[in-house]
Every structure is written in structure tokens, then in C-alpha cells.
Amino acid sequence: MNHNLIKPVLASLAAVSCAFLAVSEAQATPAFARQMSMNCMSCHTQTVPLLNSYGRQFKLSGFSMANGKEEIKGGDLGLSLPMAINAGVGFKSNYLKSNGARDDFSSPAGASIMVGGKIAEDAGVNTMWNSDGLIHMQGTFTQPVGEGRAGFSIYGTQGHGPFIATESYNSGLHKEISMFDNPDRTNAAQATGLGKGPASGLAFFYGGHGLTISGAVWAKGFNSTFNNKGLDADGIDSTLYRVSYDLPELAAWNISVGAFGLSGSTTGTPSKLYENTGVPFLTAPWANSLTTFDTKARGIDMQVIGAIAGMSSQVVVTQVADWKLRVNDVATGALRSNQESKASSIEAQIMPLAKLGIRAGRMVFGDMLNSNNDYGTVSLGVVYNYADNVRFSLERTEIDNSVVADVKETMVQALILF
């Protein structure tokens, strides 16, 4: 065993036990469990934050399902607020060891507070702050339509990506809903950048009969939709779509298939579009120049949940066939950044014991502009659910590149939500 790894790992776990970990940006918190008078795993499968079908329905309700609990009514305003504030706090501690240049230990890495839930019949909000300021806000309004629901959501996020408003599957289109804790190395949507980054927009959706359809107009910046901050007179010209379908249950297996895509552009000054996000654009010499961000992507995914020999099992397949980001200075026409990539990943988790899970994954990444940047990864990991809201994980990823020497990364993470 690598004894150089033991001391940081033990230090990480001890710090978690004593300091309650560092806060997770995960949207799953016991605040929603309290609203529903249920435990966390009623909405999650195997481990938080991976969602099950009930969790997807809760999100499509606009976080407004309340399970008949007593509420404060708002008269003519139509408000229906919980008797107590729906708040949650989470802590996360990370240790990442690499035989490359990375050797990071963060405990704590920040502090986050989530406030959200039902505000009226068929309406709810979800907001989250960390020590750097507001990182996510979302308001959703829905109505029953037959046996399903339709509605719209207004959102802004610093880092969870443009699909966050309605995405409720585990394939990585939403930054936090992915299987591994090192998703940049294990998930195709995260590796390309499609499933993360600042975004704001207005999304519309329908969910029913196993079918979920959503679309949005959005901008590649945080909070830019709400106050037009940093946008030129042409405003937003970006759209996205997401279609998924839950196939009829097959021998106790639940299979979902989907497709997604986005295209368009956002024009503005990066220092305004990206403020409070910590992205590199803010430190560039052209941060205050009028800039156009052109984006394009498309892909497919599949999720399979069931049991093997009585053990809860889950497999997620994600393929991003085309991700493009082109950044141009409006005044000079200079090309500031150009990215074109594709990736595919398969991630699996099986629970041989009620609280213990084993993970395995394979990802292939291709840089369409420079094949020297192509690489593949193989990942293995274990996760231990000490309680519904307390989790420890250990992951090992080997990265194979034809030009650079192989890199091996080990991540230890501890998470608590309350």
C-alpha cells in the first residue's frame, strides 16, 4: 500500500468527523426531506445526489410537493409556505492525489446554505449560497396536465450548466447529478464542459407518461437573463432541448433513454456575464471587451436502474457527439478561445451491502482540434453511506494519453447534509 497516501486520507476523514466536512454544492438536502416528511433516500437511488423516479417527479413539481403538512396560507397572494423555513446546510471535504501536478487537500472547501421548497400550490423555489456568494437560484411554476405536469422555470447558476432547470437524470448534464465524485475524469458531459459552467435562462417543460420534454432560451453567463447585465441590444440567441423517455419496466429494470442539444450565442462583456463565478475569463486582458460566445452541442444518454442477484444496480451511458465553444472579440474579430471535443462514458454502481457501493467507469475523450489531447480513463471506487445524509467515498482513476505519461488520480471525499 502507498504509505504516502495514508496520512492525507486519514487526515481528510478526521477533519470531516471533527469539522463536519466542507459544504457540498449538491442540490439534495434534508430540507426537502423535511418538507415531505420522508427520508432522503425516498428521492435518491443508492447514494445522494443520484435521483430516482420519485425525485424526478419532485423536481418537476417545482419542489412544491408537501405531503399534506400544515402550511401558512397567504390569502389573495396564493402563498402556501411551510410552518418552518426549509433550509439545509452541507459540508464536503476533498483530498485529490495525483502523480502529475495535483495534490490538493480541502477541508473545508467552503460553506453552503440552501433555502427552498414550496411557496404556493404548484410553485416552488431553490436557492443556494456559498462563501463566495449566490451560486444558484431557480423558481419553477407548474400545472397538472392530464397525468403529467407542464410548467416553466427561471434560473441562474454559477457553475451547474444550462440544463440545470429541468434536468433530473444522472448522466451528468447537471453538474452535481453524476455518479463519480471526480466527474471531469469520468463523465462525458462534464469532461467536455457541456454539463457545467455559468448559465441563466427561461425553461419550459412537460413530464408525463414516462416522457419528459424541455426547452430553454439561455445565456452563457450568471444572472444575465434577469437584469440584462452585460448583454448587447441583440440579447440572447441561445436555445437548448432535452428529451427523455422511461421505457416500460422490463423484468424489474427501469430503462431511460434521452437526447439533448444546444446552440446559439451570447454577446456581452465577460466581466459582467461571469461575475462572481471564478472562471478564467475574468482575469483575461479582454475581460471588459464586448465578446461573443458561440456554443453548440448534441448527444444521447441512457440510464438503467435495477437489481443483480438482489443487489441494487445502476448504469449510466453518456455520449457527447459534438461540443463547440468559440469566443470572439466583437470589435476586432480576434479569436479568443476555440474548443471542439467529443466524449463518451459509461458509469456503473452496484450495492453488495445496503450501505456499501462499488463503482466502475470508463471514459474516452477526443479533442477534435488536436489529437495529442485525446485520452481515455478507467475508474474504480467505493462509497459508504454511513447515513442517508453522511457519505464517504474513495476513487481511483487512471488516465491514458499517447503523448503524456500516464496519470493516476486518487480522490477521497466525505459529505454531510443537514
Per-residue pLDDT at 67: 72
**Residue 307, C-alpha cell as written in the block:** 437489481
Ranges of H-type helices in 69-127: none
Q: What percent of the chain has pLDDT over 90?
A: 43
Per-residue pLDDT at 246: 93
What is the C-alpha separation between 82 and 251, in angstroms, rounded? Answer: 40
Q: Is the pLDDT of residue 361 over 70?
A: yes
**Residue 192, C-alpha cell as written in the block:** 467536455
What is the DSSP-derived secondary structure letter of residue 247? P
Residue ranges of the domains in the chain?
Answer: 28-94+110-343
pLDDT in tens, 245-271: 999 988 889 999 999 999 999 888 888
Per-residue pLDDT at 362: 97
Give the mean pLDDT of 183-204.
Answer: 92
Least confident of 16-20, 180-184, 310-314, 333-337: 16-20
Q: How far apart are the first and last CA of the chain?
A: 35
Model confidence, pTM: 0.85
Per-residue pLDDT at 366: 96
pLDDT in tens, 225-247: 544 444 443 456 789 999 999 99
Give the mean pLDDT of 329-350.
Answer: 94
DSSP secondary structure, 132-183, as one string? TEEEEEEEEEEEEETTEEEEEEEEEESSB-TTTTT--SSSSSSTT-SSSSSG
Least confident of 43-57, 143-157, 238-252: 43-57
Least confident of 109-118, 141-150, 298-307, 328-337: 109-118
Strands 87-98 and 311-329: unpaired
What is the C-alpha separation between 90 and 27, in angstroms, rounded? Answer: 10
Contact 90, 23 (CB under 8 A): yes
What is the DSSP-derived secondary structure letter of residue 76? G
Residue 293 CB neighbour total at 10 angstroms: 23
Per-residue pLDDT at 111: 62
- pLDDT range class, residue 25, cuts 50, 70, 90: very low
Identity (one letter) of the amino acid at 256?
A: S
Per the document, the length of the chain is 418
Give the mean pLDDT of 72-98.
Answer: 71
